[in-house]
């Protein structure tokens, strides 16, 4: 992996870590907040009864698995853009960020159906 790809992945993975709970709330309206604002303490999974947030309902292992899967998709997008189109860092970060949002929406759609 090239240095620019590593930097792009670091930036996008940090973005994912900082914003995933807010994205969860934006998709499901579940009450998740930023890590520094209570995280999943206000998520509807904490309240008895349905509906439960699909990202949080499976527990910590499922949550970590989802985030790890998103980071892998981000890496694939970064490497694909770097090798086929351009190795410029800003475009690699954009590719990773787009992959993050699209794959999170896809995961949400899949989990909402289960």
Tens digit of each residue's pLDDT (9 = 90 or more) over 66-107: 999 999 999 999 999 999 998 899 999 999 999 999 999 999
Question: Please, which pLDDT band fits residue 57 given cuts at 50, 70 and 90?
Answer: confident
List the end-to-end C-alpha distance of the chain, in Å, as a whole number.
36
Nearest Cα to 7, choosing from 103, 76, 100, 75?
75
**Structure pTM?**
0.91
Please give the torsion angle defined by the CA atoms of residues 55, 57, 58 and 62, in that order, rounded to the nearest 10 degrees.
Answer: 20
Alpha-carbon distance of 64 to 75, in angstroms, equals: 16
Alpha-carbon distance of 20 to 104, in angstroms, equals: 9
Q: At 12, list the tokens.
A: 């996008």
Tens digit of each residue's pLDDT (9 = 90 or more) over 26-52: 999 989 999 899 888 888 888 887 678
Question: Between helices 59-84 and 3-28, what is the axis angle to 10°?
Answer: 130
């Amino acid at each position: 992996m090239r240095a620019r790809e590593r930097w792009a992945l670091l930036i996008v993975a940090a973005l994912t870590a900082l914003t995933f709970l807010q994205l969860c709330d934006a998709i499901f309206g579940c009450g998740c907040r930023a890590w520094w604002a209570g995280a999943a303490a206000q998520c509807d999974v904490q309240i008895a009864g349905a509906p439960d947030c699909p990202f949080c309902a499976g527990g910590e292992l499922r949550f970590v698995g989802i985030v790890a899967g998103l980071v892998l998709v981000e890496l694939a997008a970064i490497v694909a853009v770097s090798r086929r189109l351009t190795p410029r860092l800003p475009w690699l970060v954009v590719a990773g960020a787009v992959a993050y949002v699209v794959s999170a929406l896809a995961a949400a759609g899949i989990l909402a159906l289960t």
